């Protein structure tokens, strides 16, 4: 630790690299928190969790009893008798008793990406509501054709205010908050859409997972999806980084020829002369091949590519890595798959066998450096190494099935919610922090001068 601090001070270690190492060391010691407790007001299973993207301070939760609550995870509302455990009670609660509240289970809740003044809820009562946080009133609502499974807003959008809603209907609907109407619908799935996820690198790209086992990529500026992931289309491992590829390409172009200055002319194979008819035929075939490579299938065409599946069951969980290069998917076939977004290939990462939920949407979480993925596996939450698939941690604390997990990169904390109506906090061990503070105190005492005032 002290060597790394010295390297950072002398400029040998970049600040962001030092910060990532500290965070990685903290998350490696994550355990059930013994100093922070979330007091859940829900009387049904907790279905979704989200921390606001602006401050990382306010936690939003939704439950099957048609209630949604907000907590301040930075400032405690109360302490236990010993004063050691901070209790965080809800600072806002909307339930069935509210005049504009949902009538059935709330399956999803999201913060407005750039402000905590609004939040969005989707429910089994076929409505998506947009709420004003300060007045707890519905600003605008959207009537859906079926149960709402999932909603999402783009975290990088600057040109639109669209809510993507996946329902038990085959169409994905884009709801425009500014106009209060549907912008348009995306047709392509053959069954209900259980998970939706926006790209982390483009505000126009939407990813959806359906009960038909398909994962589709959409450019919302045009009709039809432009990619359907196929589990049989694969590549082994990660793509090399951009820096590595550029270095390799430079090396290949700058590599000198071994045959001298005239070697290129000498080494060129002799070409046979072709007649006019043969040359015309050859050029026509070449043009046809080039045209076939550039040909793009019409969105409405039924083809083998359009019918490709990513899972053998419903796709009930999607999560894009923070750099926007990879996509993790979870299916009712109890399989986790990691996809290369650029090529659309399955990377063949073999995640250890785990049993996943099959009846409802699952919320996955990825660590700040995209090395760990947290997956609800029945009554436990398992942490896997994203690139090797090896199980790193097995977090047990819930009495019933876990439905959602959320990683807060600000404090390196994990929040989980389950059917036992509890919201648990998993925090880094305080032992390492206390030891570090003790050493800093000793170092400060050694450096102090002993002169009297």
- Tokens for 432, please give them: 């390492």
Beta-sheet strand order (sheet of 391-396): 365-366, 372-377, 380-385, 391-396
Q: Which pLDDT does position 240 carry in this prediction? A: 60
Helix, strand, coil % in the chain, rounded to nearest 5? 15, 35, 45
- Tokens for 257, please give them: 């020829």
Q: Which residues contact 62 (CB under 8 A, 6 or more apart)?
A: 46, 47, 48, 68, 106, 107, 108, 109, 121
Q: How far apart are CA 234 and CA 80, in angstroms?
A: 53
Q: How far apart are CA 159 and CA 220, in angstroms?
A: 12
The DSSP code for 255 is: P
- Tokens for 261, please give them: 């200055």
Minimal CA–CA distance to 150: which of 207, 211, 107?
107
Burial zone of 168 (CB within 10 Å; 0-12 exposed, 13-18 middle, 19+ buried): middle
Alpha-carbon distances of 114 from 14, 153, 224, 401, rounded to whole Å = 29, 10, 29, 32
Q: Which pLDDT does position 80 carry in this prediction? A: 84
Alpha-carbon distances of 60 from 111, 116, 415, 422, rounded to whole Å = 7, 10, 11, 14
Q: How far apart are CA 194 and CA 361, in angstroms?
A: 6
Q: Which pLDDT does position 368 carry in this prediction? A: 86
Minimal CA–CA distance to 69: which of 53, 37, 99, 47?
47
Q: Which pLDDT does position 256 carry in this prediction? A: 46
Q: How far apart are CA 138 and CA 131, in angstroms?
A: 4
H helix or E strand, kind and range, residue 118: strand 118-123
The pTM of this model reads 0.79
Q: How far apart are CA 362 and CA 401, in angstroms?
A: 11
List the chain pLDDT tens, one digit each, 453 residues. 667 777 777 677 777 777 777 888 888 888 999 889 999 999 999 999 999 998 889 999 999 999 999 999 999 898 888 888 899 999 999 999 999 999 999 999 999 999 899 999 999 999 999 999 999 999 999 999 999 999 999 999 999 999 999 999 999 999 999 998 998 899 999 999 999 999 999 999 999 999 999 999 999 998 889 999 998 888 776 666 554 555 555 554 444 444 444 444 444 444 444 444 444 444 443 443 343 333 455 444 456 667 889 999 999 999 999 888 999 999 998 899 999 999 999 999 999 877 888 788 899 999 988 889 999 998 999 999 999 999 999 999 999 999 999 999 888 899 999 999 999 999 988 764 454 444 444 443 444 444 444
- Strands 86-88 vs 36-38: parallel, antiparallel or unpaired: parallel
Q: Strand (E) positions, 341-389?
A: 345-346, 365-366, 372-377, 380-385
Q: Which pLDDT does position 14 carry in this prediction? A: 75
Q: At what angle do helices 15-28 and 2-9 cross, to 10 degrees?
A: 160
3-state secondary structure of 33: coil
As a whole number of Å, the CA-based R_g of the chain is: 27
3-state secondary structure of 115: coil
């Amino acid at each position: 630790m002290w060597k790394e601090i010295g390297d950072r001070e002398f400029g040998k270690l970049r600040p962001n690299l030092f910060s990532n190492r500290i965070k990685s060391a903290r998350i490696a010691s994550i355990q059930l928190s013994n100093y922070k407790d979330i007091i859940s007001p829900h009387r049904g299973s907790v279905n979704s969790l989200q921390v606001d993207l602006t401050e990382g301070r306010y936690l939003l939760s939704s439950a099957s009893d048609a209630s949604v609550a907000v907590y301040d995870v930075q400032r405690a509302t109360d302490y236990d008798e010993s004063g050691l455990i901070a209790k965080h009670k809800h600072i806002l609660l909307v339930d069935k008793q509210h005049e504009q509240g949902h009538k059935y289970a709330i399956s999803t809740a999201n913060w407005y990406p750039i402000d905590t003044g609004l939040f969005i809820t989707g429910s089994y009562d076929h409505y998506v509501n947009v709420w004003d946080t300060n007045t707890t009133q519905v600003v605008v609502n959207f009537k859906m054709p079926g149960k709402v499974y999932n909603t999402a807003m783009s975290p990088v959008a600057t040109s639109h205010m669209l809510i993507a809603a996946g329902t038990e209907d085959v169409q994905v609907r884009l709801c425009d908050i500014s106009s209060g109407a549907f912008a348009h619908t995306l047709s392509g799935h053959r069954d209900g859409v259980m998970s939706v996820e926006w790209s982390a690198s483009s505000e126009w790209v939407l990813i959806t997972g359906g009960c038909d086992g398909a994962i589709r990529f959409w450019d919302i500026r045009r009709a039809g999806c432009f990619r359907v992931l196929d589990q049989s289309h694969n590549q082994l491992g990660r793509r090399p980084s951009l820096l590595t590829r550029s270095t390799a390409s430079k090396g290949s172009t700058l590599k000198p020829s071994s045959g001298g200055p005239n070697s290129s002319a000498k080494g060129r194979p002799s070409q046979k002369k072709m007649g006019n008819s043969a040359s015309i035929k050859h050029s026509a075939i070449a043009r046809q091949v080039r045209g076939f490579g550039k040909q793009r299938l019409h969105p409405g065409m039924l083809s083998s590519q359009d019918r490709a599946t990513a899972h053998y069951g419903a796709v009930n969980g999607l999560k894009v890595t923070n750099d926007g290069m990879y996509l993790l998917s979870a299916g009712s076939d109890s399989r986790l798959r990691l996809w290369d977004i650029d090529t659309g290939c399955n990377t063949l990462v073999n995640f250890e066998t785990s049993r996943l939920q099959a009846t409802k949407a699952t919320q996955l979480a990825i660590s700040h450096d995209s090395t760990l993925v947290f997956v609800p596996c029945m009554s436990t939450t398992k942490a896997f190494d994203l690139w090797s698939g090896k199980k790193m941690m097995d977090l047990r604390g819930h009495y019933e099935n876990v439905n959602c997990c959320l990683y807060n990169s600000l404090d390196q904390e994990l929040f989980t919610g389950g059917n036992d109506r509890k919201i648990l906090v998993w925090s880094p061990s305080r032992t390492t922090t206390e030891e570090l503070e003790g050493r800093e105190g000793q170092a400060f005492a050694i450096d102090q001068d002993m002169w009297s005032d």
